[in-house]
Structure 1
Amino acid sequence: MKVNVNQPASTQSAGDAFVAKCHEVRVIEDLTYAMAGIQYTVEGGAASYRALQLDVYEPVDDGRALGPALVMACGGAFTRGDRKSDVVPTGEVRNTSASEYCREFARRGYVCFAIDYRLMQEAPDPGWTPTLPPGTLINSDRVNFVRAQEGLMPCTPQMMNNTYEAAADDISQAVAFVRASALRFRIDASRIALAGFSAGATAAMNAAYAQGAGVAAVVALSGRIMLSMAESCILGAPGEPPLLLFVGENDLPSQLQSMVAPVEHIQRVGLVHQLVRIPGANHFYPRTVDVHAESDERTTLESLMALFLHQHLRLSAMR
């Protein structure tokens, strides 16, 4: 475990707590949040287990009261990327890494956790908490595109399903670790948000809604949610976490088409949500990209995310 302090405090006025960036940030690296099975086969189960790790980004303020937490899952098409860097290769528009989102929200006063989860090439154990309804076939176009970039063969449907299930399990365990560590990191356990980019966003939504990870809000950056999963798990019931979805208007057709029916279902059942289409963007975009709020006011993705969490984590009450 490594601890370091960086990122000098902003000269910006504090304004609303948890919106303005007023804190220095302490980073605690390489904490193990769970052990999980890899090299899985149907016949033999997991051949071995490995540590799942996270990095903590916390505001430096020895006198602070309990505050909110943000758990952030990296992207990478279930094939590449990690908690320290999940930016795409040179030649594509670069996204903001999970670690950078964590640093920027820690500056606002959140305790943030950038997490790893098991990837497809590890052959992860899918576990015993099913996310997908039986017989579900997941579109793997984007995954196989990235696998080809990495010199890997296309995945089978079973590989895709196993990894999908394992990632949701891992993120649920990360949330459980954060909740169990609430006193250690001075977190209000009723104000934990879950976010992710791309594959991490998909796994975050699966953990929150299909597995009931117990978070107060969800932010999905270029993620997708299966219609069958949405219909079985998102009911618009009291206590379901509000959802903020970001989608590039020029993302892959399969990505855009797959979101239409689930969003219609979310609207129909009345889940509190906000869908933000990013003009001119594909699957990748930085936290500073311009977006429009529901009021049609122009702002940045990061600022809109901060305001959404401020509202739905009820942070005004924590001043």
Structure 2
Amino acid sequence: MPYLDKVYDVAFTPDVTYGVGGVGYVAGQGPARYRDLKLDVYRPLSDDKVLRPALILAFGGAFHRGTKGAEVFEGENPSTAMADYCREFARRGYVCFSIDYRLMQEAPDPGVTPFLLPGQPQNTDRIDFVRNILGLPPCTPQMMADTLEAATDDMTKAVNFVRNRSQAYGVDVTRIVCGGFSAGAGIALNSAFAERAPVAAVVALSGRIAGPTMDVHLTDGATAPAALLFHSEHDLPVILGGIAEMRDHFNRVGIANRFVHVADADHFYRRTATVQRADGKASDVETAMAEFLYDTLRLAGTVTAAA
């Protein structure tokens, strides 16, 4: 069955430009230059003419490492790269996009659509851990804020790019989903809820949205996208510490949500990692994603047969 089962071969188109972003930014002077922002496209091979749901994913890497094609992980059980999720969900029938976005080392321009409050505190534990690995000094609060604003803008640009070219890619604009892992999950949440990118749902693999951001921007769930949020048993403290706050806030304002616990895993886990379904039965991360999207996007009957 399309969208639940893997019934398609996949066509791959790399390095499509979806926008530009300023880098080499200096406050009061602006960016030194602009660079192209790229994405890779994964499409199911099919002769049918139906418009399909889209999945736009952003890699993790503490805003310092990773690319749209590969990610950098520590530990014995590295996570599945967003490129691999794109490939697997294209096999199910989704049009998938793995995006590049600006990183902290580039000194990205934060843009003119701020969603953070002035001076809003930011947790930088993971960022500084990775900066130490890379031989860099700790980041400043302004560096963190600028990077988060810029990366979130990039996700929003990607969503708008897909919408504007929906006919070319065969995308149903009412069924666009954004998501990602870790830093990528965070920018997807901020894009969907704070910048109000026009998406139907967001999938966050070990990501969070900060309390002050929720208080300002998540006030009415009536028109908000649905959210699927994964966290692992031994996830980063900043992730585990935000679960109850996010769940309580989403429920209070009426945002449709599903929180999924990944057992016996740290911050990094594969798409095949074991999770528990709401009915108590065992499943895995990828299947939980597929079932959530199938239900949330109301995909039953939208494709009658595979090519």
Shorter-normalised TM range: over 0.9
Equivalent residue, structure 2, for 1:110: 94
Given the alignment of the two structures, is residue 300 of structure 1 paired with residue 288 of structure 2, yes or no? no
- Name stretches of at least 5 consecutive residues in structure 2 with no aligned partner: none
- 2:8 corresponds, among 14, 20, 23, to 23
Given the alignment of the two structures, is residue 133 of structure 1 paired with residue 111 of structure 2, yes or no? no
TM-score by length of 2: 0.96
The question of whether the paired residues in 1 share the 8 Å contact of 2:222 and 2:254 is answered with: no
Equivalent residue, structure 2, for 1:32: 17
- Deviation at 1:125? 0.3
CA distance in 2, matches of 1:201, 1:237: 20
- Deviation at 1:290? 0.7
- Deviation at 1:60? 0.8
CA distance in 1, matches of 2:170, 2:249: 37
Matches within 5 A, 1:176-187: 176-187=160-171
- Deviation at 1:92? 4.2
- Deviation at 1:253? 2.2
Equivalent residue, structure 1, for 2:228: 244
| % identical aligned pairs | 48
Q: What amino acid is aligned across from residue 203 of structure 2 in structure 1?
A: V
CA distance in 2, matches of 1:261, 1:63: 43
- Name stretches of at least 5 consecutive residues in structure 1 with no aligned partner: 1-14
Matches within 5 A, 1:82-231: 82-89=67-74, 91-231=75-215
Q: Give the count of matched residue pairs.
A: 303
Equivalent residue, structure 2, for 1:273: 257
Q: After superposition, what is the alpha-carbon deviation per residue over 1:154-190, rounded to whole angstroms, capped at 9, x for unaligned?
A: 1000000000000110000000000011000111111
- Deviation at 1:80? 0.5
**Runs ≥4 residues deviating over 3 A:** none
Equivalent residue, structure 1, for 2:41: 56
Per mean C-alpha deviation after superposition, the further-off stretch among 254-263 and 130-139 is 254-263
Quickly say closer, same or farther: Cα 1:35–1:309, change in 2 above 3 A: same
The question of whether the paired residues in 1 share the 8 Å contact of 2:231 and 2:239 is answered with: no
- Deviation at 1:317? 4.3
- Deviation at 1:279? 1.2
Given the alignment of the two structures, is residue 285 of structure 1 paired with residue 269 of structure 2, yes or no? yes
- Deviation at 1:63? 2.8
- Deviation at 1:314? 1.3
> What secondary structure, in the 3-state scheme, does the structure 1 residue paired with 2:21 have?
strand
Q: What amino acid is aligned across from residue 102 of structure 1 in structure 2?
A: C
